[in-house]
Amino acid sequence: MASLNLVAQRALGLRADHLVPFRGRHRLGPDTVVAWQRLRRRGQALGFDLTIASGFRSYARQRMIWDAKAAGNRIVVDGKGRPLQRASMSDGEWIDAIMRFSALPGTSRHHWGSDLDVYDAAAIDDGYRLRLEPDEYTGDGPFAALSDWLGDCISRDDAEGFFRPYAEDQGGVAPEPWHVSHRDTAQGFSPAVSAELLVPLWRGDPQWPETSPLALGESVIDRVAELWGRFVNLGC
| Residues above pLDDT 70, as percent of the chain | 99
12-to-56, 60, 73, 191 alpha-carbon distances in Å? 11, 10, 25, 11
pLDDT tops 90 at residue 24:
no
Tally of CB atoms within 10 A around 111: 27
pLDDT given at position 233: 83
Q: Are 201 and 12 in contact (CB under 8 A)?
A: yes
| Confidence grade of residue 2 (pLDDT, cut at 50, 70, 90) | low
Return the axis-axis angle of helices 91-99 and 59-70, rounded to nearest 10°: 140
Mean local confidence (pLDDT), 210-231: 96
Question: What is the overall mean pLDDT for the chain?
Answer: 95
Residue 22 binned pLDDT confidence (cut-offs 50, 70, 90): very high
Taking residues 21-46, report their average pLDDT.
96
Please name which of 137, 146, 150 lies closest in space to residue 176, comparing C-alpha atoms. 137
What pLDDT is attached to residue 209? Answer: 87
> What are the tens digits of pLDDT across the range 120-164?
999 999 999 999 999 999 999 999 999 999 999 999 999 999 999
Q: Residue range 94-114: average pLDDT?
A: 97
pLDDT of residue 114: 98
Q: What is the pLDDT of residue 1?
A: 45
Prediction pTM value: 0.94
Whole-angstrom CA distances from 96 to 53, 73, 180 are 25, 17, 23
- Residue 73, pLDDT above cutoff 90: yes
1 compared with 63, residue with greater pLDDT: 63
Dihedral sign, CA of 39, 41, 44, 50? positive
CA–CA separation, 209 and 203 (whole Å): 11
Q: Could you tell me the pLDDT band of residue 81, with boundaries at 50, 70 and 90?
A: confident
Q: Give the pLDDT score at 91.
A: 97
pLDDT bin (cut points 50, 70, 90) of residue 10 is: very high
What's the confidence (pLDDT) of residue 202? Answer: 97
